[in-house]
């Protein structure tokens, strides 16, 4: 079976680890998993190109992830960060570990030599052997920026408060998504093309899976790459998704702050609605079993907490069962 999944960072990576575990336990292999990773969280800091979501998937599936945090490297040290702080080098709100920096050095050097991000990701994965084919959604730089009020800025003539755009990472990591997001923009996306292999992976899939990644800044940005959403609508494969929202709240993180920015309720049903033009099946938590589904979407209620790999494998298995029923 060829499975193609879209993925952000921690939520996507944990789901994928469960999916691989589930596939290992099946007798009908071999299976091929292609992951289309979000690159709109990418940022350049201290001259290094950082791809947080791709790295979270790579480290999680390759066995290098910090187990409790869910992002960053296990056994990390922070010697470089301490030295940078001594120089007063900004930003200091985004901590880079020493081990992690090696990844960013290799990536930045290869990008500097002219390799596309897809080739760089493949090279990094040669070390980590994540057990999936990990493709960036695009080789073109795309960055999510968030428009927030700027208390220090001059209000306009009619009294409208000043606003400013900050990089998504600054809003998320430094500001903890506390300032209301007036707008969330994926800068550069209109000119971006899907990375090589992305559209084929969707067209040739037997199943397309949406893990419980952030519907706005992870799945939303992937779907916004020109041509990508159309490819998902056009694929013959059933598309099944897992709700990141349980009982009206994100399980971890601040996805509610992203959903409000696009005027969408924080509920399993409202997220399904965002995908209603292609979604065939939607897994929700048992407490959300009464969710009204968009026309044509089959709802299935199963426990959705990814507490450990076994529990997550069961969620992935339920997603594939639902896909098989939808044919």
Residues of this chain that interact with ligand GDP (CB under 6 A) are: 7-12, 53, 56, 212-214, 218, 242-244, 246, 250-253, 255, 304-306
**Which one of residues 42, 53, 100, 288 is an interface residue with Ca ion (CB under 5 A)?**
53
CA distance 141 to 157: 35
Q: DSSP states of 252-298 as a string?
A: SS-HHHHHHHTT--SSHHHHHHHTTTT--EEEE-GGGTTPPPPTT-E
Partner interacting with residue 97 (select from Ca ion, ligand GDP, none; CB below 5-8 Å by kind): none
Which listed option, Ca ion, ligand GDP, none, makes contact with residue 143 (CB within 5 to 8 Å by class)?
none
118 contact choice in Ca ion, ligand GDP, none (CB below 5 to 8 Å, kind-dependent): none
Q: Which is nearer to Ca ion, 38 or 235 (CB)?
A: 38
Segment 119 to 178, residues that bind Ca ion, using CB under 5 A: none
- Partner from ligand GDP, Ca ion, none binding residue 250, C-beta < 5-8 Å depending on class: ligand GDP
Which C-beta is closer to ligand GDP: that of 237 or that of 316?
316
120 interface partner picked from Ca ion, ligand GDP, none, CB below 5 to 8 A per type: none
Nearest approach in angstroms of CB 182 to ligand GDP is 20
Place of tokens 């089959």: 298
3-class state of residue 6 by DSSP: strand
CA distance 216 to 58: 22
Which entry of Ca ion, ligand GDP, none binds 251, CB below 5 to 8 A by partner kind? ligand GDP
In the bound complex, which residue of the shown chain has the CB atom lying closest to ligand GDP? 11
Q: If you write DSSP's letter for every residue of 109-129 in order, what string do you get?
A: HHHHTT--HHHHHHHHHHHH-
- Neighbouring C-beta atoms of residue 47, cutoff 10 Å: 9
In the structure encoding, which two tokens stand for residue 34, read together?
């292609």
Shortest spacing between CB 4 and ligand GDP, in angstroms: 16
CB of 222 to ligand GDP, least distance (A): 10
Cα distance between residue 71 and residue 57, in whole Å: 9
Q: How many residues bind Ca ion (CB under 5 A)?
A: 4
Least distance (Å) between residue 113 CB and ligand GDP: 28
Beta-carbon contacts of residue 160 (< 8 Å; ≥ 6 apart): none
- Which residue in 41, 42, 139, 288 binds Ca ion (CB under 5 A)? 41
Tokens of 145: 């920026």
11: partner contacted, choices Ca ion, ligand GDP, none (Cβ within 5-8 A by kind): ligand GDP
**What is the C-alpha end-to-end distance of the chain, expressed in Å?**
13
**At closest approach, how far in Å is the CB of 209 from ligand GDP?**
13
Cα 225 to Cα 25, 87, 99, 312: the distances in Å are 34, 38, 31, 28
Q: Rank residues 166 and 203 by Cβ distance to ligand GDP and give the closer one.
A: 166
Decide if residue 42 touches Ca ion (CB under 5 A). no
**Beta carbon nearer to ligand GDP, 116 or 287:** 287
Mention every residue, 6+ apart, whose C-beta is less than 8 A from residue 177: 171, 254, 257, 258
Q: From CA 239, how far away is CA 202, in angstroms rounded? A: 10
φ/ψ of 295, rounded to 5, equals: -50, 130
The stretch near Ca ion (CB under 5 A) out of 47-55, 144-152, 263-271, 290-298 is 47-55
Q: Which residues contribute to the site for Ca ion (CB under 5 A)? A: 8-9, 41, 53
């Amino acid at each position: 079976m060829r499975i193609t999944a879209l993925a952000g960072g921690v939520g996507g990576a944990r789901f994928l680890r469960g999916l691989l575990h589930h596939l290992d336990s099946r007798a009908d292999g071999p299976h091929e998993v292609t992951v289309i990773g979000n690159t709109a969280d990418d940022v350049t800091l201290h001259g290094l190109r950082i791809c947080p979501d791709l790295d979270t998937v790579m480290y999680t599936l390759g066995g290098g992830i910090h187990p409790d945090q869910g992002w960053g490297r296990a056994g990390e040290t922070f010697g470089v960060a301490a030295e940078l702080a001594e120089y007063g080098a900004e930003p200091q709100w985004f901590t880079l570990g020493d081990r992690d920096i090696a990844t960013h050095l290799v990536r930045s050097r290869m990008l500097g030599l002219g390799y596309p991000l897809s080739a760089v990701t493949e090279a990094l994965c040669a070390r980590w052997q994540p057990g999936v084919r990990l493709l960036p959604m695009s080789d073109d730089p795309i960055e999510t920026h968030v428009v927030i009020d700027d208390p220090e800025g001059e209000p306009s003539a009619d009294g409208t408060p000043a606003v400013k755009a900050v990089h998504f990472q600054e809003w998320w990591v430094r500001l903890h998504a506390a300032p209301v997001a007036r707008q969330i923009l994926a800068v550069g996306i209109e000119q971006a093309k899907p990375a090589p292999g992305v559209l084929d992976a969707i067209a040739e899939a037997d199943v397309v899976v949406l893990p419980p990644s952030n519907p706005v800044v992870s799945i939303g940005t992937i779907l916004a790459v020109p041509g990508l959403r159309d490819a998902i609508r056009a694929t013959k494969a059933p598309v099944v998704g897992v709700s990141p929202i349980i009982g009206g709240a994100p399980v971890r993180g601040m996805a509610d702050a992203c959903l409000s920015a696009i005027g969408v309720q924080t509920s399993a049903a409202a997220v399904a609605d965002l995908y209603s033009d292609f979604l065939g099946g939607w897994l929700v938590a048992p407490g959300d079993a009464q969710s009204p589904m968009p026309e044509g979407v089959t709802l299935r209620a199963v426990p959705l907490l990814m507490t450990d790999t076994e529990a997550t494998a069961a969620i992935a298995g339920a997603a594939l069962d639902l896909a098989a029923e939808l044919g």
